[in-house]
Amino acid sequence: MEGMIYPASLVFLALLTFMFYQNRNSLLMLISLGIGIYLVFSHETGHTATEFKNDVVKSIDEKAQEFDEAHSNKSFD
C-alpha cells in the first residue's frame, strides 16, 4: 500500500493541474505543477525542504558564532 501513495499523488496532482488548466486558473495550475515538481525532486534525490531549512539555520548560527568570537561581543546570546 505504501508503494502506491507516490504514484497516486502524482496522478491526483496531474488531474488537479488539468482541471485548473481547463478552468483557466493559471495561478493554481502553476502552484500544483510546483508541488508536483517538488514531490518528484524530493522522491528522486532524497533532499527535502525541511533539510534545506535546517542547513540554512545551522549555517546562520555558525556565522553568528564566528561574528561573536571575532568581535568579542559578550552580550550576544
Q: Is the dihedral of CA 65, 68, 69, 70 positive or negative?
A: positive
Residue extents of the structural domains in the chain: 1-46, 47-77
The residue-averaged pLDDT of 54-71 equals: 89
Model confidence at 25: pLDDT above 80:
yes
Q: What are the C-alpha distances in Å from 64 to residues 24, 50, 57, 75?
A: 47, 21, 11, 13
* pLDDT band for position 39 (cuts 50, 70, 90): very high
Q: Name the band, by pLDDT with cuts 50, 70 and 90, for residue 41.
A: very high
pTM score of the predicted model: 0.69
Position 38 scores a pLDDT of: 94
